[in-house]
Structure 1
Amino acid sequence: MRRLIIYYCGIVLFFGSCEDKKKTSDPDSYRDETEIENEIKTKIEVEAEKKEEKEYPVITNENVVSFLTEYGKKNPETKVLITTRFGDIEIELYKDTPLHRANFIYLVKQHYFDETFFHRVVPDFIIQAGNSDLVSTQKKRAELGKEYLLPAEIIPGRVHEYGTVSGAKEYRENPDNRTAPYEFFIFLGPKSSTTHLNGKYTIFGKVIKGMDVVEEISKVKADDGDWPLNNIYISAKVIE
């Protein structure tokens, strides 16, 4: 009898040792090695992309032309979607103003415009965007390049018309009509009000969809400095 008991105990121990030790609640218990390896590779690639985004140099007046020329070759997109609470505005950028086009695409891809405002509105004239009174906007400018200006790319015969997009300009010590890189304006006003704009501001694009949105924004209530009483947040993304 004693031998029989020992025999049965041996059988129980044998089968117990063959039991699958993985719990059914373990999420990796039914995943093959290839699936896990692919997930690891994806995570590595995402981190690499994030690192690459941060490796762009701070833009200065010394490197602005070389940087944007090279960036423009690698990023040829020409259409951007601006989103507001009033609706969307689709902008097409001109290829014959390559530095302004590349700069705009660069800022969009770096998410600079996200959570900035349409901060100046003048009915029957312009709406201007790219600034805010948030600390985050100044922080972004410091990281990307706080002091640089864009060389003027003024095309002879090109004038401000309904829906054209132009770069804002620094007035002080700016006889060369260089563009402030972070702000742009959309023109609405009649041609009769463009005398002080034509030939002095670089026109680098036009609105191809959403001028009804532009019109609505231009009519919001603003203070004495043309700043809307209620902030008009924007976000931007490259679409083509």
Structure 2
Amino acid sequence: MRVLNYFIFGFLLISSVACGGQKDQVVTIETKYGNIVAILFDDTPVHKSNFLELAESGRFDSTEFHRVIPDFMVQGGDVFTKEGMPSEEWPTLPAEIRTNHFHKKGAIAAARQGNNINPERRSSGSQFYIVLGEIYTELELTADMPKLQSAFMQYVQLGSQEALRNEYSRLYAAQEFDSLTHLLLSKRAEIEESLNLKLTKDLTKEEIQAYTTVGGTPHLDDEYTVFGEVISGIDVAEKIAMEERGPRDKPLNPVYMKVSVEKMSRKKIEKEYGYTYPDGE
């Protein structure tokens, strides 16, 4: 993410979650388009505790969704700019990147600075984003595109592949980049067999199911901490993403938020929102 934004630390674990796991905190983000309701994950405890602390103290209130991109994400919660804190003093959180949490549509993740100045992938101390994303075919999803591109360029140098090389050159000259991508994908299995290479990524059944049905942003996986999930109101986030934008993808008409927290039994959460807690939680 191209953001320079961050988070304050809060290391308290929530006693009601720790005691028997019978209750959880339901987060409601109120906007002019309606409410977004979410739960936060227990196995990202620093991020969960921090977010709840900011919400319960009212510090998120009157912050904006300040960066919105259709079919990608909506980002907000810039507490420290609102409070006038110098950017060099913005707190960060240690990364809590878990392989069981990925960027499917509705995922809530922490913004952060880029790897060039943040190799530890520490999270912003307040800013978060809600994933929208796109639906992928399984072929698109499982292809290791950097490796495939490199192997394709090697493959088309073979004398037997002159026609393929010419087709690639034609599409490139015409800047038909979607067609170029389809061309590469269509040749993946052929190139794998010819060059004896593996050009696929290993994804779980859950990832493939999610990204090929509800969608998401898989290229962000393993790079940002996913610490929550929208359980109601993803359509509200989609409406926010459609706002007319100015520089830096900021809505021309501000979209403010007010964030509240309600303790609720997990059984009630499952019944009211259709959310299923993972086994063992």
TM-score (norm 1): 0.64
Distance 1:181 1:204 in 2: 13
**Residue 224 in structure 1 maps to residue 247 in structure 2:** yes
Distance 1:113 1:79 in 2: 15
* 2:13 partner letter: G
* Secondary structure of 1:103 counterpart: helix
In the alignment, is the contact (CA less than 8 A) between 1:152 and 1:179 conserved in 2?
yes
Counterpart residue number, 2:92: 149
Which segment is superposed worse, 164-173 or 220-229? Answer: 164-173
Distance 1:224 1:232 in 2: 15
Measured against aligned partners, the alpha-carbon deviations of 1:71-115 in whole angstroms (never above 9, x if no partner) come to: 224474431100001100001101111000000000001111100
Once the 2 structures are TM-superposed, how far is the Cα of residue 195 of structure 1 from its aligned partner? Answer: 4.5
Once the 2 structures are TM-superposed, how far is the Cα of residue 203 of structure 1 from its aligned partner? Answer: 0.4
Distance 1:176 1:75 in 2: 31
Pair 1:184–1:194, CA change in 2 (3 A) = same
Pair 1:205–1:99, CA change in 2 (3 A) = same
* 2:34 partner letter: G
Q: Which of residues 225, 230, 252 is equivalent to 1:202?
A: 225
Counterpart residue number, 2:101: 158
Q: Which of residues 91, 110, 117 is equivalent to 1:167?
A: 110
Percentage identity across aligned positions?
A: 35
* Secondary structure of 1:186 counterpart: strand
* Secondary structure of 2:83 counterpart: helix
Counterpart residue number, 1:188: 132
Distance 1:215 1:195 in 2: 18
* Secondary structure of 1:116 counterpart: coil
Aligned residue pairs: how many? 170
Alignment of 1:85-100 (within 5 A): 85-100=32-47
* Secondary structure of 2:128 counterpart: strand
Unaligned residue ranges in structure 2 (runs of 5+): 1-6, 18-23, 137-215, 264-281
Pair 1:198–1:191, CA change in 2 (3 A) = farther
* 2:241 partner letter: S
Distance 1:219 1:73 in 2: 35
In the alignment, is the contact (CA less than 8 A) between 1:160 and 1:191 conserved in 2?
no
Unaligned residue ranges in structure 1 (runs of 5+): 1-58
Once the 2 structures are TM-superposed, how far is the Cα of residue 225 of structure 1 from its aligned partner? Answer: 1.4
In the alignment, is the contact (CA less than 8 A) between 1:168 and 1:180 conserved in 2?
yes
* Secondary structure of 1:78 counterpart: strand
Q: Which of residues 208, 212, 216 is equivalent to 2:235?
A: 212
Kindly report the root-mean-square deviation, in angstroms, between the aligned alpha carbons of the 2 structures. Answer: 2.4
Larger Cα-atom Rg: 1
In the alignment, is the contact (CA less than 8 A) between 1:166 and 1:184 conserved in 2?
yes
Distance 1:118 1:147 in 2: 18
Once the 2 structures are TM-superposed, how far is the Cα of residue 159 of structure 1 from its aligned partner? Answer: 1.6
Which segment is superposed worse, 93-102 or 190-199? Answer: 190-199
Q: Which of residues 52, 73, 77 is equivalent to 1:105?
A: 52
In the alignment, is the contact (CA less than 8 A) between 2:37 and 2:233 conserved in 1?
yes
TM-score (norm 2): 0.56
Once the 2 structures are TM-superposed, how far is the Cα of residue 191 of structure 1 from its aligned partner? Answer: 5.8
